[in-house]
Amino acid sequence: MNQGSWERSLRGAIFDLGGVMTEPVGRHRKAIEDPVQLDLLRFFMNEFKDVYHLPTGVHDLHLLETGEISDDEFFDRMTARYIAQGGHPGVDGRTAAYVVFGRGMAACGAMIDAVRQVKGAGYRTALLTNISRSGESVWRSLLPVDELFDVVVDSSQVRLRKPDPAIFLLTCERLGLEPRECLFVDDLHCNVDAATELGMTTIRCDDPVVIADEVVELLLGRAAAAEPESAGAGR
């Protein structure tokens, strides 16, 4: 955690979707035993590690998350690259999507409760997610978005993606806050590092249940399970 200065006043909190507002990404992926599917998953993960940390680019992952191609296009093109590099010729885009997404994401109840408490205490809140054009149906089906967040910034809708500083600044602008006034929570180092560089207080989330307590402790000065204090806890 980058706590920054304890003296500065935090007025807002920005949360990632996958791995923060949901259980860790991949936890609900069905155990894969098929060697071809395992090889395909390794191929995806290697591409992810090679390009995700780049703020912008022309890789299909960047195009997917900025809304320039659809999920189907992404996985069709990924499997074509996989086959071209010697992968099994029998795979297709639908298999790839299943291998990567498994049973999808599951909301983290502890983090939902933490955000509810933080917003109820007067903090401005935002959901900031890198996601494809079909993303809105995903986050709306998982979370009570309108109750929890004052602002939602969806990468595919704004045509920017983390860790581009521009998307953090846009989120702060929509919250009506300066970066130094915001807490940012994300599960990926590159996104946390980018937010830190802008002056945000940051927490990297490796376990959303544990980090939910840390968020409440930092912003409200009490354990998440404690009874809410009187009005005025937020700033």
Instruction: List per-residue pLDDT tens for the chain, 235 residues long.
Output: 554 444 458 999 999 999 999 998 766 555 677 888 888 989 999 999 999 999 989 999 999 999 999 999 999 999 999 999 998 998 889 888 888 877 678 999 999 999 999 999 999 999 999 999 998 999 999 999 999 999 999 999 999 999 999 999 999 999 999 999 999 999 999 999 999 999 999 999 999 999 999 999 999 998 766 544 433 334 3
* 108-140 residues labelled b (16+ CB within 10 A) or e (exposed): bebbbebbebbbebebbbbbbbbbbbebbebbe
Sequence spans of domains, the chain? 12-24+105-220, 35-101
> CA-CA distance, 53 to 209, in Å (whole number)?
25
User: What one-letter code names the amino acid at 61?
Assistant: L
Superfamily of domain 12-24+105-220: HAD superfamily/HAD-like (3.40.50.1000)
Q: Give the HSE-up count for residue 192: Cα atoms under 13 Å, Cβ half-sphere.
A: 16
